[in-house]
Amino acid sequence: MRMGYELNIAQTQKLIMTPELRQAITVLQLSSLELTRYIEQQLQENPLLELYDDDGEKNLEFLDKDKGDESGDKKEYDLDWELYFQDSSDLGLGYRERKWEQAEYNYENFITRALTLAEHLLCQLHLNPCANRERLIAEYLIGNIDEKGYLRVSLEEVAGRLRVSQIEAARALLLIQSFDPPGVGARNLQECLMIQYSALGIDNELVKCLIENYLEFLARGKIIRIAHELGVTVQEVQGAADILKTFDPKPGRNFSDPSNNRYIVPDVIVKKVDGEYIILVNDMVAPGIRINSTYRSVLAKEKSCDSQTRRFVETKLNAAVWLIKSIEQRRLTLYKVANCLVDMQRDFLDYGIKYLKPLNLKNVAEEVGLHESTISRATANKYIQTPQGILEMRHFFCTGLSNVAGTSISSGCIKEMLQEIIAGEDCRVPLNDQKISDLLRQKGIKISRRTVAKYRSELNIPAIGKRIRY
């Protein structure tokens, strides 16, 4: 066996992901808000980039013009605070509505964010005339209440950590459980519902009995069994269960969590003007950027800087140019894709969900002459404002089923029909999935029982056992 080294030359083809291409792909799949944050990051890293406003010169002229009128504006915004607060305390419809609402100076309407559950409870605690020791225990308990409103620590643990008795901890917990929203501070679902039962002043022993003994049976829809065990009519149990449905099993969920706030800004806006749809790519959110003329002039002068500085400026200049090109390419791609979606789903935009056609990435890719992966990135995490509301761009893509005529019907249209069938059923004898499948087949839609069950689950419609009414 001969061993040795050889030198061979071979031609191969392979895709090399350049930094510029990687950046273009990254920019394409960013939403408007994400693009804004990305541009802000690039502005910090690249000194050759600067913010640019098309109306910048107009704004400067406006500011210069307003300097002469500064005293007049000062008079306009120079509020009589004593009169303002005196007027704000009036419970009638007097000067406040005539002046402050018209001038938009009602500062009570200015709010930065909603209160969290903990902040809401602490506000009530600090208004309550309790002892300092009890207040400290209550503050600790509030800090251990989760976003659903439940206490996630035992009284034994509280007593051990704070070195207080369990009686003191229980007294502080009772104080919190008297706060708004009703049911807050409970340690389980049963306690949460009982707190609401007492707070709402409901005088119904059957409701109380259901909370104490039959929550599991209610969850499984065992209405007849409950009625048989309690010796009451099914209708009485159904009425008590209806009262329980008005209770909130998660009393803290209506309060804001700042970390979960999500703002939706449409990336594309579709407007109907004179019967035709106009497509606008939303460029108002992301700041405009351009190359700084000061650094650009450095390259124009050969002897103005050393070689190291020149290489730095050239590198940053190329990066800035590629970023600007990537943003423009993103805008053009979004426009092409949105225009194609509007053309293909025009009936949906005109008449609603029933007219949504089956559509996939391949159909759009062939129409606009781009790869499917490009269409996928262009529509990922993007929103489009249409006459039907603000929707995800992925909403326009959906699967479909065949009908007897051989044409395809979108899953969205079928779900709409399924909802209408269930909404019109007899609640005493609800339809099972097979019967719904048969009714859809009578309308010319070939659909199996399993597909009906899948769509029903996606629509959060309960099964037949939980839809029955007595």
pLDDT at residue 149 in the model: 94
**Which one, of 331, 323, 332, 330, lies nearest residue 289 by Cα?**
323
Residue 413 has a pLDDT of: 87
Burial string for 357-368 (b: 16+ CB within 10 Å, else e) reads: bbbebebbbebb
pLDDT digits (tens, 9 = 90+) for 356-398: 888 999 999 999 999 999 999 999 989 999 999 999 999 899 8
The CB density around residue 113, as the number of other CB atoms within 10 Å, is 8
Least confident of 173-177, 179-183, 254-258, 273-277: 254-258
Residue 278's CB is within 10 A of a number of other CB atoms, namely 11
Q: Which residue has the tokens 């990051």?
A: 41
pLDDT in tens, 30-43: 988 889 999 999 99
Cα torsion 136, 139, 143, 144 to 10°: value is 70
Calculate mean pLDDT across residues 57-66.
44
Q: Which of the four pLDDT bands, split at 50, 70 and 90, describes residue 115? A: confident
Distance CA 61, CA 66 (A): 9
Q: How many of the other CB atoms lie within 10 Å of CB of 126? A: 11
Domains contained in the chain, CATH given: 117-245 (1.10.10.1330), 268-396 (no CATH), 400-467 (1.10.10.60)
Higher pLDDT, 257 or 114: 114
Residue 421 confidence (pLDDT): 93
The one-letter code for the residue type at 270 is V
Residue with tokens 């209408």: 420
The residue-averaged pLDDT of 463-468 equals 84
Confidence of residue 24 (pLDDT cuts 50, 70, 90): confident
- Buried/exposed code over 388-407 (b: 16+ C-beta within 10 A; e: otherwise): beebebebbbbebbebeeee
Question: What number is the average pLDDT over the span 323-334?
Answer: 93
Residue 428: pLDDT band (50, 70, 90) is confident
Q: Supply the mean pLDDT for the chain.
A: 83
Look at the chain and count its residues: 470
State percent of the chain over pLDDT 70. 82
pLDDT in tens, 242-301: 999 999 999 998 886 655 666 788 999 999 998 899 999 988 777 888 888 777 776 666
